[in-house]
Amino acid sequence: MPLPVEEIKKLILSSIPDASIEIKDLMGDNNHYSAIIKSKMFNGLNKIDQHKLVYKSLKGKMGNELHALSITTEGKL
């Protein structure tokens, strides 16, 4: 079962409450997304650790309900 954009945002915000999130459905199938996520929690972290925070927030849905998610992360001032 595909994961809707609003559910992805809700999962990310539950772990990264100050996140601003832009998600695009790349193929119109609710299964292939790209996301730009900005948060103060990313400040001082390398890209790998930033992405780990996002994947952890998805609570095991990556690779299951969520097939593909391309992530771009940025810190906030």
Q: Which residues 6+ apart lie within 8 Å of 12 measured at CB?
A: 19, 21, 35, 37, 54, 57, 58
Distance CA 39, CA 13 (A): 10
Domain residues for the domain of 32 are: 5-75
CATH number of the structural domain spanning residue 26: 3.30.300.90
Q: What is the pLDDT of residue 10?
A: 97
The single residue listed with the structure tokens 């810190």 is: 75
Global pTM exceeds 0.75: yes
Question: Consecutive sets of 10 residues in the chain, 77 residues long: mean pLDDT of each?
Answer: 90 97 92 95 97 94 86 93
Q: What is the pLDDT of residue 67?
A: 85
Q: What is the total count of domains within the chain? A: 1
